[in-house]
Structure 1
Amino acid sequence: MEHNTQHNIISDSMIDAAENIRKVEIADAKAIVDIYNYYVENTAISFETEPLTVNEMAERIKDISSKFPYFVYEKDGKILGYCYAHQWKERAAYSKTLETTIYIDKDATRQGLGRIMVKLLIDLCRNEGYRALIACITQGNEASIKMHESLGFKQVSEFKEVGFKLDTWLDVVDLELLL
């Protein structure tokens, strides 16, 4: 499947305009895995059940950032969050639809960082010619649902009891934004 790599050009100019946001680097893997593993180990926000290693996260960063927008929010030398888009489904007809991912350090939530990052992601994806963004969110993660809705995402599906984690059956909602 062919991917638009123009984001390397567009994101430089757009990200420069957003204070504290920069393109991800492989060296960010440790900080990113620390943020992510908190959610893996302590919440139902991520459906993974085992923490990742730094090397596993570095491979994911390398794979995703080579094809799609991927950036971090860094303040005073500390990464407080990361955001990226990746292919929603692998069939060719889905090539213009991406799934969004956003994680914020547990100690930096509710400060508007997620909204800033997802807004930039929307702009980058729109400028690259993508048609739709999908946010797959665990039902009950009201902060994420409300933030996405405030940016124009609309709930388009609800899947009942499709995940099992922390001794609980979990529902998932998909929110879509047409670009």
Structure 2
Amino acid sequence: MDDCKVGGLDFTEISEEHLPGVLEIYNYYVRNSTVSFHTELLTLAEMRQSVLSGDKRYRSYAIQEQGELLGYVLIARHKNKQAYDTSGEISVYLHPECTGRRIGEQALRFIEKRAVELGFHVLVATICSENERSQQLFARNGYERSAYFKQIGRKFGRWLDIASYQKIVGNTQVSGR
């Protein structure tokens, strides 16, 4: 399943054609917020590496409505150690004009279903403590705050904290992974 429709939105696996729009969305947050901890704008090549990892388990999806790119959602590697292979780190980035429309909730429903199909057991989201809207989104959708790190990053001349939220999405049986 590479494409899917959820609540009127289309979720399509990101391809080269989506990269300029995805880059524009991400770099907006680099420039204007603490949503991203990058302090320098990403290049197209860096964005390509970020969302087109080449690993079929870690996927990125464009969120579109009638062909218009509204944002993207992805599952990335949580940690680069084998015991973490059943855990994925998820992120949702929306065009700044598309926030507040419940698109994030639809993206979470989509990516959770996709994560289960890909064999993930736990999803983790790492969120800057200043990003109250994202924290509320994840909490409303069954994610529990599982960690809090103080002054772990520095951007715009100030120290930043992060909170990690997690949700068990897979079955609780132990697999051979």
Length-normalised TM-score, structure 2: 0.88
Q: How many equivalent residue pairs? A: 168
- 2:57 match: 67
Query: Which residue of 99, 102, 121 maps to 2:92?
Result: 102
CA 1:157/1:150 → structure 2, altered by over 3 Å: closer, same or farther?
A: same
Length-normalised TM-score, structure 1: 0.88
Q: Which amino acid aligns with 2:79?
A: K
Conserved 8 A contact 1:98-1:133: yes
Gaps of 5+ in 1: 1-9
Q: Which amino acid aligns with 2:64?
A: E
Matches for 1:20-99 after TM superposition, within 5 Å: 20-63=10-53, 66-99=56-89
Deviations 1:27-82 (A, max 9, x none): 11100000000100111110001001122212322216643232111124321100
Conserved 8 A contact 1:138-1:171: yes
Q: Distance in 1 between matches of 2:5 and 2:106?
A: 14
CA 1:17/1:152 → structure 2, altered by over 3 Å: closer, same or farther?
A: closer
Percent identical: 25
CA 1:43/1:65 → structure 2, altered by over 3 Å: closer, same or farther?
A: farther
Conserved 8 A contact 2:144-2:167: yes
Gaps of 5+ in 2: 170-177
CA 1:64/1:117 → structure 2, altered by over 3 Å: closer, same or farther?
A: farther
- 2:124 match: 134
CA 1:64/1:139 → structure 2, altered by over 3 Å: closer, same or farther?
A: farther
Conserved 8 A contact 2:57-2:118: no
Q: Distance in 2 between matches of 1:175 and 1:29?
A: 27
CA 1:96/1:174 → structure 2, altered by over 3 Å: closer, same or farther?
A: same
Q: Distance in 2 between matches of 1:170 and 1:66?
A: 33
The answer to whether residue 143 in structure 2 is matched with residue 153 in structure 1 is: yes
Moved more, 121-130 or 97-106: 121-130
Q: Distance in 2 between matches of 1:167 and 1:174?
A: 23
Q: Distance in 2 between matches of 1:17 and 1:138?
A: 27
Conserved 8 A contact 2:23-2:47: yes
- Structure 2 counterpart SS, 1:63: coil
**Where does structure 1 differ by over 4 angstroms across 4 or more consecutive aligned residues?**
none
Query: Which residue of 154, 160, 168 maps to 1:170?
Result: 160
Deviations 1:105-164 (A, max 9, x none): 011111111111111101111222211000000002111111111111000110000000
Q: Quote the RMSD (CA, aligned, Å).
A: 1.6
